[in-house]
Amino acid sequence: MARRWLAAVLAAGCVVLWANPASAGRRVDVSVSDSATLAAAMSAATAGSTIVLADGDYTIGKLAAKLGTKDAPVTIRAAHPGKARITAGQLEIKDSEYVTVRGLDWANANTLKVTASRHVRLTDNHFRLGTPAGTHWVLISGENSGHNRIDHNTFEHKTLLGNYVTVYGGQSQVSQYDRIDHNLFADEAAQTANGGEAIRLGVSQLSESSAHATVEYNLFSNCDGDAEIVSVKTSDNTVRYNTFRESAGVLSARRGDRNSFYGNVFLGGGKPGTGGIRLYGEDQRVYDNYFAGLTGSGFTAAIQLDGGTVTADADHTDPSLWAQHWQVRHAVVTHNTFVGNVSNVETGANYTYPPVDSVVADNVVVGSTGALYREAKAPTGQTYQGNIAWPTGDATVGLDLPADQIRVVDPKLAADGEIAHLTAGSPAIDAATGSFPYVTDDVDGQPRDARPDAGADELSTAPVTRHPLTTADVGTSW
């Protein structure tokens, strides 16, 4: 088989840089310099093949039924990152495993598809596509898809409807255990219709399935394409350690249950429409997040435990209800810090059914305008404990609750870089009253001690391991 592969690529004019035909699955580098030899090399590739694109423009096609291995993936990469440019065609990686695409400049007009494939990695690529309206730039779909990774890429200047990255699946199951990390999502033009998210995890007809996806260490900058910058429409996902800068919209738990949102930083910079996290569904966890300079309210409040269009007890097996806004139940919003936002912790601003049996605990809210805590609809069984509010200027606390639920006191925050941290003598130190064992560190990555502080920050001398992300931390290496 290896001899037939070598003969095929040589006949196509490819240059084999290294090969050992007797060693199936061992590394074989093939240099290509035009679209025809690229197509031939892709067709002939086997486990261990690395197709190296010389500088220039290329048309690309399908890569199907390629079964690389963890130690011998099928790789398509630029000889010089960013110098090999895809200007036409469509890459669909289908029915494949362990495929890596690295260092290419994508300027074509078609979606990059990962279909019914596993362990596909898209890394160090630049995407600025000329796709028509409604087209997603990267799409993961198909039965049994999973364990794919999209990392260290730059997605920018999307001017029409469509998502930068969409994760779908098959008929009944979304793709599972995918990771989206260390990417730059930037400069999405505002749209007048839904469908312009930077990332969408799932779709209504798959919203009852569990994705177990991880979205982490991404930077969203000026992403204004949709009121939902990241839309989560499946269950059991983790969205953590991301930074949202001057992006008009929110991170939305739109459908699905048991999602965790923690360690994220939202910096609005006073830009209109900037928001934080909006919740629907059951058992969502929101903790260790930092919100500052956000101007949104209602749908784009810093935190919105929203109302629902159907109750939490509605029939989850009824397909006609999957696209509805499901009532919030058993949400936990804890150890978050809010500084200088127009609207901070809101409950039930939209739709009919207010949240049920949720917990708002050990948060720190400082602001000079509006109500720091607001119940647009009175929730049922919502617990407040250990929260701190410090209204200045025209602001009010918003809720008249005992001090053990919301204490009105200056938390003594001081600006330190882009995050306002606790200072010595703060009443927030050792003040947390809840027991949340999953809150093990703070927004800076410093460990929580035996008596945690209220808010997203733990006053600590331990090394800071996380910070608000900039373009130096994410995106392509080139």
CB-CB neighbours of 130 under 10 Å: 12
Q: Once rounded to an integer, what is the mean pLDDT over residues 75-93?
A: 98
The pTM of the full predicted model, rounded to 2 decimals, is 0.95
Q: Once rounded to an integer, what is the mean pLDDT over residues 451-455?
A: 97
**Alpha-carbon Rg for the chain in angstroms:** 24
**Of 12-26, 107-121, 225-239, 315-329, which range is least confident?**
12-26
CA distance 221 to 274: 11
Give pLDDT tens digits for 334-345: 999 999 999 999
Between residues 402 and 24, the one the model is more confident about: 402
B/e letters for 314-332, b = 16+ CB within 10 Å, e = fewer, are eeeeeeeebebbbbbbbbb
Give pLDDT tens digits for 187-229: 999 998 999 999 999 999 999 999 999 999 999 999 999 999 9
Side-chain half-sphere of 171: how many Cα atoms within 13 Å?
Answer: 0
- Percentage with pLDDT > 90 across the chain: 94
Confidence of residue 5 (pLDDT cuts 50, 70, 90): very low
User: Do residues 161 and 193 make contact, with C-beta atoms less than 8 angstroms apart?
Assistant: yes
Residue 475's nearest CA partner among 202, 105, 77 is: 105
Q: Once rounded to an integer, what is the mean pLDDT over residues 14-41?
A: 76
Q: Is the pLDDT of residue 6 over 60?
A: no
DSSP 3-state assignment of 199? strand
∠ CA 140-146-151, rounded to 5°: 65
Q: Is the pLDDT of residue 131 over 50?
A: yes
Residue 74's nearest CA partner among 20, 120, 37 is: 120
Confidence of residue 1 (pLDDT cuts 50, 70, 90): very low
What pLDDT does residue 2 have?
47
Give pLDDT tens digits for 349-408: 999 999 999 999 999 999 999 999 999 999 999 999 999 999 999 999 999 999 999 999
User: Do residues 169 and 142 make contact, with C-beta atoms less than 8 angstroms apart?
Assistant: yes
Give pLDDT tens digits for 260-284: 999 999 999 999 999 999 999 999 9
What pLDDT does residue 212 have?
98
CA distance 387 to 187: 36
CA distance 293 to 339: 7
CATH superfamily of 63-422: Single-stranded right-handed beta-helix, Pectin lyase-like (2.160.20.10)
User: Do residues 114 and 124 make contact, with C-beta atoms less than 8 angstroms apart?
Assistant: no
What's the mean per-residue pLDDT of the chain? 95
User: Do residues 132 and 160 make contact, with C-beta atoms less than 8 angstroms apart?
Assistant: yes
Confidence of residue 26 (pLDDT cuts 50, 70, 90): confident
Give pLDDT tens digits for 89-110: 999 999 999 999 999 999 999 9
